[in-house]
Structures are given as C-alpha cells and as structure tokens.
Structure 1
Amino acid sequence: MFAFSPEGQAGERPHIVLINADDLGYGDLGCYGATKIKTPNIDRLAREGRRFTDAHTASAVCSPSRYGLMTGQFPCRRNFWGPLPFTSELTIRTDQPTVASVLKSAGYDTALVGKWHLGFGRGKTDWNKPLRPGPLELGFDYYFGMPTVNSGPPFVYVENHSVVDYDPEDPFVMGKKSVTQKFPEKGGYAAIGGAAKAHERYRDEYVGQTLAEKAVERIHEHFERDDGRPLFLYLATTNIHHPFTPHPRFKGTSDCGLYGDFVHELDWIVGEVLTALSDAGACENTLVIFTSDNGGMLHRTGQEAWKAGHRLNGDLLGFKFGAWEGGHRVPMIVRWPGKVPAGSESSALVSQIDLIRTFASISGATIPPGAVIDGVDQSAEFRGEATQPARDTLIISPNSPQHLTVRHGKWVYIPARDEGGFQGKKIGDHLLAGAAAHLLTEQVNSGVVNGKIRDKAPKAQLYDLDADPFQSSNVYDQYPDVVAKLAGLLKTQRADIPSTRRLGWINLKQPDSRPQPVGNAALRVPAGSSSRSASFDFESGQLAPWKIVEGEFGHLIGHRQTFFHNKGEWNKQGEFYLTTLEPSPNAPKGKDAQMGVVVSPLFIPEAGVMTFRVGGGMGRTTYAALCTADGKEVLYARGINSQQMQKAKWDLVPWAGKKMFIKVVDQSTSGWGHITLDNFQFDGKIMNEYPKGLQNPVKSPTPD
C-alpha cells in the first residue's frame, strides 16, 4: 500500500510518541492557564517545545474524534457522530491508511497502549472469540489497553487479540452482572458479565498506573531490542474520563476535588513516559505530541470542579459533545529538541486529522494518491518554519449532525441553535451542557438567557473568533455574505456523508432518533379504527405476532392501569402497549432488569410514512429500528428519558415494496434502560413470516 519516499531518507527518522488524553479540556493544564491544578511534567513539555492555541479534534465526541486522528478523515465521511457501544464492530476498514500503518510502512515499530473505543471484528463483537480485526490489523505491532471506555463495559484489558486473563470455562455472558467495582458516573454493570478473572484484573484506581507501566515497558523493550527501527508509541490514557478514580496517592492533591486529582495522575503518567525516553537516551531524537480527544465535560464531577474555581475549558464557550469551541479546541504540545523551537507558541489552525500527513512527511512514508485524507502536512508549522498556514478551513463534527460546523479563517458557522451536545437541563445533571450549562457557568452568549435559547435568537450561529474568541455575540444576521459562503462549504461537505447507518450513539436531535413531543400528557386516547391498511397496536393484549428473538422477558405488554410511573396517561393509545420495563412490587416505577430483542413479522410497506409513539430511555442501547429483511437497520427511534410517549414517524418511501421488519432492542439495565412503543400505523401488507437468521423465538410472555 505504501512506498518509502527517498526524501524521507535524508536525516534520521525520529521516534514518535503520541499521548492522547481523554476529555482533557483546554483549561485543564497549568501551561494553558489552570491555577487549581498543577501539571509540572506537561508544563515542562511546553517549555521545551511548542504550544498550540488553535488546535482542534475532528469531533467533540470520543469515538469519532479517535477515528479522525487515526485515519486523517473527517468522521462525517463515515456518518460517525457518537461514542460506540461495546458491541460495535471495527469502524475503520483494514485497507484504510492509518497513522500506524503509514509509520509501519516506513519501518517503524508501532505500539498502542490505552483506550481504543473503535470497535472489534465484523458484525456484533463476540467477546468470547479473538478480537480481530482490531488495532493489529490497522498497523500496530502491539496493543494493550482498555477496549472501550472506562465508564462502560466490559471492564477488562485486551492484549493484542485477546482479553487478558480470559478463561473459556467462564465465558462472557450478555445481560449478566459483572464482577467489577462500583463508582459514581460508571455504569453498565449488568450489560455483560461472566469472565470473572478478567474483570477482577481490572481495578479502576490502578488503570492509570497499569497503562503507564505498559507504555514504559514498551519503550524499554524497544530500545533494548535495538533492531534499528524507530519507535511509534500511541498512548491513549483513560484519564480524565469519568468515573474519576485516581490512584489513592493522588487523592486530595488538587484544589478542585477528584477532577483535579485525576489530572495530577495524568501529569504523572506523562512524566513516567518522558523519564523512560530520557533513560533510553532517546529524548533528542523523539517527537512527542501531547493532546486530548475532545474538550472537557461538565458532568457532576466537572461541576464540582467549576464550583471550586476551576475552568475546564478555560474561558471557551461550551463542553464535550458540542459545536462551541470548548467542545473541540484542545491542548496540543509538540516537542522535538533541535527541530521544534523551545518555548514557542503557535496560533495556526491545526487539527488532529493533520497528524497522518505530518507523520508521513517526517517519516518519509508515501500515502497512495487515491486515499481520501482530509488532513494536511503541518510539519513546517511544528518546526516554526511555515511561511503561510497549512489550512484555513476545518469541519468539526459535534454529536448532532444538524450542528456540523465549519471553521474558515476567523469565522465559525454553526447551522443551528445551541451547541448540539448533551441535553441536561439543570445543575447537578450528569449531562449538563449547552444553554442550560449557563445556569452554572454564567458565561455570556447573545442567544442564551436564563439557561435557555432566546425565542428570537437567529436560527443559526456565526462568530468572529478574532474579535470574539469566547463566542459571546452571534453575528449571523450582520454578515449574510459570510453565512452564504460558509453554508456553501458545509453543503459540499454534507454531500460526502454516506446514507449508511449512523455510527455511535445516535444523535438525540434527529427526527428518527429523538421524536419531538406532542405536548403535555394527553387525555386517554381510545383505540379506534385506523384509516391505514396495516398496524401494530397491541390491543389484543398479546405480544403476538411479534416475537422475542434474544433474551428472556417476563413482561412485554403493559396495560394503561399498570403504567409504572404515577399512572399518568402520557400519550398512550388504547389499553395496551409494548414496554421492556418490568413491574416490581419493590420498585414503584418499574425495573430496568430485562434485556433482549423483539421483532415484528415481516411486512411490505407502500410509499408513505409510518407513524407511532415512543417513550422511555434515550440511551444508545435502547431503541427501535426499521430493518430490511436481511437485518440491516435503516431508521431509529428512542425515547427522551420520559414515560411520556412522543409522536414519531418514519419515511417508508425508500423501502416501498420491500420486505421490512421492526426490531426493538433493550441492552441496558441502568436508569431509563427501557423503551415503550405503541400504535404503529402504515399502509402495506403484514406477512406471516419472520426475518431469517435470527435466534429461535422463545415463548412470548403474557401481559400482566
């Protein structure tokens, strides 16, 4: 795939160490203005290297951000918007250039230590089998780390293709409670269990130390081997993603609680890596890059840090997941003695997607001309030798596709209101963000008042970052020509977004994934005759003709008299509805313990729309999907963490005349880990057959 460039042979190729922190905000380091947190090792790196003040991730979200860093592509090219579930397949094609495969082609010894979160295998991940393809099929010679995210399952380590300490006599089991420690802001305990020895190996407060030791071990092994190859080490820490579990020796060491303590441990990890390079005598010929996968997150621990006087993203507006600057402008420090000017600073616009071409330039690797790479070569900017900017335009992907953002020169254009990230509405919410975050932060933005978007705010946003770096004033109405130009750039980029299934946590603001509410709780709606030729309204009080194809449900058909949330009407239709919430005398609001998959019979729709109602959770593992006969999911719907059902509709035109079915998935046992559905209405023919290749249906439960 790659050829070695003769230009790259002039001079010794450097070792490259890339450290990518998790959820570290622009204001979390001393060298970026933090006063409640001390980061002496990272600050020293900045003094000895070059600090970038306008560096960005490809996305404000972890998984698509890592995809952009690895591939040099805007994640929207892959229709990639949110964090991946633990069952996700590998999201990068094995024939796709990556930073690792580029450097491997140039003769590098390549290793990844730390967080992956880009999926494994093909199809749904089977944790009881070798996890391939994965990092090793994308150019890494070695991998050890956290396979997904430290806040979600499975809580294990993976080395190369295998779960560490995996015992085939004690396999992983979906829906079983795992043997793992419990901490605030950690979840999914009962999503996948078994594999007790592997789970026991993972101890939350020792993950940072374990990853540091593995990185140092890999450095020592490389230089002891002395086989002439340069080293590429990609260290992706779990610090400082929630849950906040610093090693005991770091607890209480900062002035802003566990948040700052976790940053202190991160700084120690960086120091261990730098010491290992120094001990190996490799500092002078090692390019070190330190950065973060997205901006800081205003979860409960972040809120406590804010109250203590710490500013996660400095004075930047916004937080992780969102389109405002705080979601994706991140620290970036580059050190390469004798090549990168020490103590220097750059205000050039750079992105992590630029690393792949920059590494190719430095190493002498040649990327095939046909490869789709959005990154540019920033090696001259790294050295402080650039005579003009390498880029003036950048596309940023927040969680919401509606908020796909373009940066052009000093201008940034967001084609919607708010920041398109999390939807917490009050102080203390784990998902606090967007306009609601202003209730705590008291930041100024012309479109926000009292934690809400102003009624008369413009429909989109334009900011002049030279004059207004903290995005206090939306000048959308003042510069229509600039808006038109940037909207045109976005239109061109949107044309490259594939129509394939979206990857990651499905965006909460899209019509097919977060239906808009009808209004307040409705009065009882009788089950009447429908003008549509086909329907699933569950008014028989039986699950049939739907079937369970995975898991075991003791309850699926609910009655309005036993709706488990204060017996409100909540926009139900008729007497019965489908719900994965389980009744319990010990839980007045019901239990979220059930997990599995339920499917409708096949049907052939006519052109038009399917209308229905949906309630319950909005998490990525509880949803309804419209599927083709071969099982491909094409449209989605979720609740909004409310028992009040929302009006929803799916456009069936692309699938008119084709065999389709509806799949209901519940793989969550955490809060709001259920989904409720009712009154599917459409025009078409319902068939007396089911999609092939599904697990054997089990007996359908009777209603309560």
Structure 2
Amino acid sequence: MARFVFMMAALIVLLAGTQPTVADERPPNLVIILTDDMGYADLRAFGDSEIPTPHLDRLAGEGTRFTNAYTVAPICVPSRMGLLSGKFPARFGVFNNVYSLPSNELWVQQTTLADVLRKRGYRTANIGKWHLSGNSSADSGNELGGFVFKPPHERGFDEFVGITGGMHDFWKGTGLARFKDGRYERFESPDYLTDFFGTEACDFIQRNKSQPFFLYLAFNAPHAPLHGLDEDQAAIETSEISPNRRKYAAMVRAIDRNVGRVMQTLHNLGLAETTLTVFLNDNGGGGNNAASHTRNTAINRPYRGHKFDVWEGGIRIPFILHWPNHVPAGRSCDGIVSSMDVFPTFAKAAAAELPTDLDGVDLLPFATAKQAGDAHEALYWQQQVWSRPNERKPGPNYPQPAYNLAIRSGRWKAVKQDQPFDGTNHGRAWELYNLSRDPSELNDIASEFPEKAQQLSDAFFAWQKRMPKPMHDSKSSDAKK
C-alpha cells in the first residue's frame, strides 16, 4: 500500500511538472494594422461616412472600440516611433519628421516591440511602410535598398517588404524593397500597392501558421498621392462628392478590402481566436489645408484641425482591439488611451519580457472592463509647426522653429501655440477646453478657469523638463512625409 501511494505521488509530481506554463504555451499571434493619414470620421464605426468599409465595420463589431484614443504625435515619423517603442517620441528628442542619423541618435538605441517579440520566439514582419530609417524612395546604392541607417531587420523584423520612404505612387510597377538573404533587393510591385501589401500579409500568415507571428501591416494609404483604382471609385455610390474625395474614398475602400482578406485568412487557417489584432491610424487625416504633399480630403469631424496639429483633429485616432473570446465584442471604451499602449498590450499578451521604462500601459484590463477609467492620468504633445497654405506670415519675433504644445488630463485639454521650445512666448497664452462639452475645441475657457489652466501648464513643463531637447536635423523643417 505504501509503495502504491508513493508511486501515485510520484506520478502526480511528474504530471504536474509536464503541464505547460503560460510561458510554455503558444502565445497569441499579434497583428498591427496601421493606416496613414486616414480621417477620423472616414470609418463608419467612428463617424458618418459615405465610404463603405464593411470589413472594418465587422472588425469593430467583433472587437472593442476606443473612442478616446490618441496618437503620440500628429505626424508620421514620431508617431511610428511611439507605436513601436511604447514611449513618447519626445524621449528621443524627436518633435518632427527627422531623417538623418544624428537626429535619430536616441531613437536607434531603443528596444522595439519587434525586438521583444522576436526574443520571445515570434516570426516578425513589417509589410508596407517603415519610414524610420531615412526618407528615400530610391535605391540607396548599398545593401540597404533605399534605407539610410538601421533598417527594419536591425530593429527586430525578420522580414520586410514595402516602400523605403514616406510616400509613394500606388500603381503597379512602383519601386519597392524586400529583405532577402541578408540584403535588400529592389523590385517593381506586381499589383496596385494596397492590394500587393494585402497579398504579402496573407502569404506571411500562411507561411507561419504553425508558429507564433507578429505582423506589422503598415499601409501607406490613404496618404497622398490620391491614386484610387477605377473599380473602387465606381463603387462609391454617392454622386455628391468631389473627384479627389472619390479617389480618396477608393483608397480607403482598398484598405478595407485587404483588412478583410487578412482577417479571412486568419479564419480559414483556424487562427482567428488565437490572434490579437489592433487597428489604428498614425495621426489625423490630412484634410485640404495641410502641406501640399499630404492633402487628401480626409475628414476628422467633429474634431478641429488635421495632421500636424495638436488640436483633436491631428491627434485623435480610430482604435480597435480584436481578439475573439478575450476582448469583448461590440464594446465601446471611452477611457483615454494612446498608440504607445500597443507595445505593452502585445508584450503582456505574449508573456514577453517587458522593458521597465515604457510610457504605455496594457490595455487588455480596460478592454475587458477589469479596470475602469483612463489608462493615462495625462498625455502630452509637442510638435514643431508646419506652415499651411493659408496661414498668416509670421512676424519678426515669431520663434524659429516654433512648436505647438498640448496636454490632456481627464476632460480638460490645454493648448499653447507658436512657442519656442521652452514655451516662453508669453504673448500666446494657454488655451483651455472642456472636451466633454466642447470636443471641437471652439470655446477657450482659460479665463473662466485660470487655476486649471495653470495646473495643466505646470504639469506640461514638468514633463518637458524630463525630455531631451530636439535632436538637430537641418532637413526636418521641410521634409516630406
């Protein structure tokens, strides 16, 4: 009897020792779908749009929408830095699009989400747009294929295929780069660019269905130039639309089609319930009054401003989390969240080692209602000013370069414009808005609540003092996205 008890105890210990732990189980596949300069109101899940987006509507219906979601920056390069690092780009001294190695000195030292996931055993891919290693769309004449420094494969990505600059033609035959056999090779796109990136994404999923994968699908649409397929333009049924807006709508429709292809591929392979997907935009839509190379007719209604602005129209973004049986379907979360929260959310889901110095937070407790309220006590923005076609010419005392500053905390938001880096242009005072009553930022109430304006000012400058000053880049002020 004693021997039997001993053998049973030993068997229990043996079986317990072979049970998989959280770290041993296959972690979820992880997918980021990022769009470029899409208007907040151009998705029916977030606005009243004339553009049909059935696949994105379904993604939102099957997942959780975050209706107070923000990008870390209203422009491409720092926005992508924040997404992939989980930090404010101000921590790298980046407040604009910057393309030289000196201006990226701090950024290239950062651990990326792809670094963390590759270490965890994920197969990682960046398909589409990178825009964090210079801004050249042509072959660089070396093995980097158009990149200037630290390309995607040195930042945690096993695979890359896409554009090497910030904007590109969408037509079949446009020049692209692919990381293959240790180098970047140039080739011409065999298809309309958005469709080609969708094809590459589905192929990556198919090839890696038996192992955990991280797919960063960064469409460069609907960023200008406005290149929409004829069949997509014809599918926009309304007649009350300008020719350029129709082209833009066609580009959004192409994105939606390829989001549908990716999600259908996951479903067909039986991976839908083991894949955590986030959909978001890099910054506010370009609109019609932005810099000429980025105008795209995007609509950010009801929010004021557009890309480049620290107004809500430049920084408020659509944001969807989708993970069947883990993230509630059809739920709307109104807490304040940020694009830099994707890093810790994905790393925690993957049971990966998480850096200790992130600014982002895990959103899964908020999505599942285990935690309520705002994910952040405050969010901060400091953006170098870009000139606009209709903007008044600055006077002789106008700071060069100038910055726009903003902070949001709870329902309150403060904005200070046309500042030197340290914010000492006292001729332009802080403006104060109650976003719960005035989401369009039309009524400055700083004179009614001077103590709240001062409180937010103090909080902003306390944050700014912890950030490095701008890294020098002589090309940053007029660099195209």
Q: CA–CA distance in 2 between the matches of 1:336 and 1:382?
A: 10
Greater strand share, 1 or 2? 1
Task: Give a deviation string over 1:373-409, Cα, whole Å, max 9, x none.
Answer: 2112222112232144331211124343621211111
Whether 2:50 is the aligned partner of 1:36: answer yes
Whether 2:357 is the aligned partner of 1:357: answer no
Q: Which residue of 2 aligns with 1:98?
A: 112
Distance 1:403 1:301, change over 3 A: closer
User: Mapping of 1:315-354 within 5 angstroms?
Assistant: 315-354=302-341
Q: Which residue of 2 aligns with 1:128?
A: 141
User: Mapping of 1:420-569 within 5 angstroms?
Assistant: 459-499=429-469, 501-502=471-472, 506-507=476-477
Whether 2:219 is the aligned partner of 1:237: answer yes
- Residue 503 of structure 1 and its aligned partner are, at CA, apart by 5.1
SS state at 1:18 partner? strand
Q: CA–CA distance in 2 between the matches of 1:498 and 1:301?
A: 28
Distance 1:216 1:126, change over 3 A: closer
- Residue 139 of structure 1 and its aligned partner are, at CA, apart by 1.1
Pick from 308, 313, 316: which aligns with 2:300?
Answer: 313
8 Å CA contact retained: 1:77, 1:497: yes
Distance 1:322 1:356, change over 3 A: same
8 Å CA contact retained: 2:42, 2:299: yes
Pick from 249, 256, 269: which aligns with 1:280?
Answer: 269
Q: Which residue of 2 aligns with 1:620?
A: 479
Identical pairs, percent = 30
Q: Which residue of 1 aligns with 2:359?
A: 374
- Residue 163 of structure 1 and its aligned partner are, at CA, apart by 4.5
SS state at 2:175 partner? coil
Whether 2:432 is the aligned partner of 1:411: answer no
Whether 2:161 is the aligned partner of 1:144: answer yes
User: Mapping of 1:167-316 within 5 angstroms?
Assistant: 198=187, 201-202=188-189, 206-223=192-209, 226=210, 229-254=211-236, 255=238, 256=241, 257-299=246-288, 312-316=299-303
Distance 1:321 1:402, change over 3 A: same
- Residue 93 of structure 1 and its aligned partner are, at CA, apart by 4.6
8 Å CA contact retained: 1:102, 1:365: yes
Task: Give a deviation string over 1:406-460, Cα, whole Å, max 9, x none.
Answer: 1111111112269x9xxxxxxxxxxxxxxxxxxxxxxxxxxxxxxxxxxxx9633
Q: CA–CA distance in 2 between the matches of 1:475 and 1:144?
A: 49
SS state at 1:9 partner? coil
Q: CA–CA distance in 1 between the matches of 2:139 and 2:234?
A: 40
Aligned amino acid, residue 138 of structure 1: R
Distance 1:468 1:312, change over 3 A: same
Aligned amino acid, residue 327 of structure 1: G
Pick from 43, 49, 56: which aligns with 2:63?
Answer: 49
Q: CA–CA distance in 2 between the matches of 1:497 and 1:234?
A: 28
Aligned amino acid, residue 620 of structure 1: A
Task: Give a deviation string over 1:57-97, Cα, whole Å, max 9, x none.
Answer: 00000111001101112112222122345999866655422
Q: TM-score, normalised by structure 2?
A: 0.80
Q: CA–CA distance in 1 between the matches of 2:471 and 2:80?
A: 19
Aligned amino acid, residue 286 of structure 2: M
8 Å CA contact retained: 2:335, 2:373: no
- Residue 483 of structure 1 and its aligned partner are, at CA, apart by 1.4
Q: CA–CA distance in 1 between the matches of 2:87 and 2:467?
A: 12
SS state at 2:343 partner? helix
Q: CA–CA distance in 2 between the matches of 1:90 and 1:253?
A: 43
- Residue 136 of structure 1 and its aligned partner are, at CA, apart by 1.1
SS state at 2:78 partner? helix
5+ residue gaps, structure 1, are 1-5, 166-197, 421-456, 508-618, 622-704
Task: Give a deviation string over 1:186-224, Cα, whole Å, max 9, x none.
Answer: xxxxxxxxxxxx5xx258x7111111111111011111x
8 Å CA contact retained: 1:49, 1:337: yes
- Residue 366 of structure 1 and its aligned partner are, at CA, apart by 2.1
Distance 1:479 1:300, change over 3 A: closer
Aligned amino acid, residue 20 of structure 1: L
Aligned amino acid, residue 45 of structure 2: C
Distance 1:390 1:8, change over 3 A: farther
- Residue 101 of structure 1 and its aligned partner are, at CA, apart by 1.1
Q: CA–CA distance in 1 between the matches of 2:65 and 2:232?
A: 26
Whether 2:97 is the aligned partner of 1:83: answer yes
Q: CA–CA distance in 2 between the matches of 1:43 and 1:482?
A: 38
- Residue 486 of structure 1 and its aligned partner are, at CA, apart by 1.0
Q: CA–CA distance in 2 between the matches of 1:378 and 1:233?
A: 19
Q: CA–CA distance in 1 between the matches of 2:430 and 2:36?
A: 30
RMSD: 3.3
Whether 2:245 is the aligned partner of 1:386: answer no
- Residue 15 of structure 1 and its aligned partner are, at CA, apart by 0.8
8 Å CA contact retained: 1:60, 1:399: no
Larger gyration radius, structure 1 or structure 2: 1
- Residue 231 of structure 1 and its aligned partner are, at CA, apart by 1.2
8 Å CA contact retained: 2:227, 2:248: no
8 Å CA contact retained: 1:297, 1:319: yes
Task: Give a deviation string over 1:571-605, Cα, whole Å, max 9, x none.
Answer: xxxxxxxxxxxxxxxxxxxxxxxxxxxxxxxxxxx
Aligned amino acid, residue 494 of structure 1: Q
Q: CA–CA distance in 2 between the matches of 1:263 and 1:61?
A: 19
Size of the aligned set, in residue pairs, is 421
Q: CA–CA distance in 1 between the matches of 2:248 and 2:474?
A: 26
Q: CA–CA distance in 2 between the matches of 1:29 and 1:159?
A: 31
Compare relative contact order (CA 8 Å, sep 6+) and give the higher one, 1 or 2: 2
Q: CA–CA distance in 2 between the matches of 1:343 and 1:411?
A: 28
Distance 1:92 1:70, change over 3 A: farther
Q: CA–CA distance in 2 between the matches of 1:501 and 1:233?
A: 30
Aligned amino acid, residue 252 of structure 1: A
Q: Which residue of 1 aligns with 2:3?
A: none
Q: CA–CA distance in 2 between the matches of 1:45 and 1:492?
A: 39
Greater helix share, 1 or 2? 2
Aligned amino acid, residue 374 of structure 2: P
Q: TM-score, normalised by structure 1?
A: 0.55
Aligned amino acid, residue 53 of structure 2: T
Aligned amino acid, residue 90 of structure 2: C
Distance 1:9 1:363, change over 3 A: same
5+ residue gaps, structure 2, are 1-19, 386-401, 422-426
- Residue 120 of structure 1 and its aligned partner are, at CA, apart by 5.4
Aligned amino acid, residue 456 of structure 2: L
Task: Give a deviation string over 1:234-260, Cα, whole Å, max 9, x none.
Answer: 100011000011233312322441111
SS state at 1:118 partner? coil
Q: CA–CA distance in 2 between the matches of 1:504 and 1:319?
A: 25
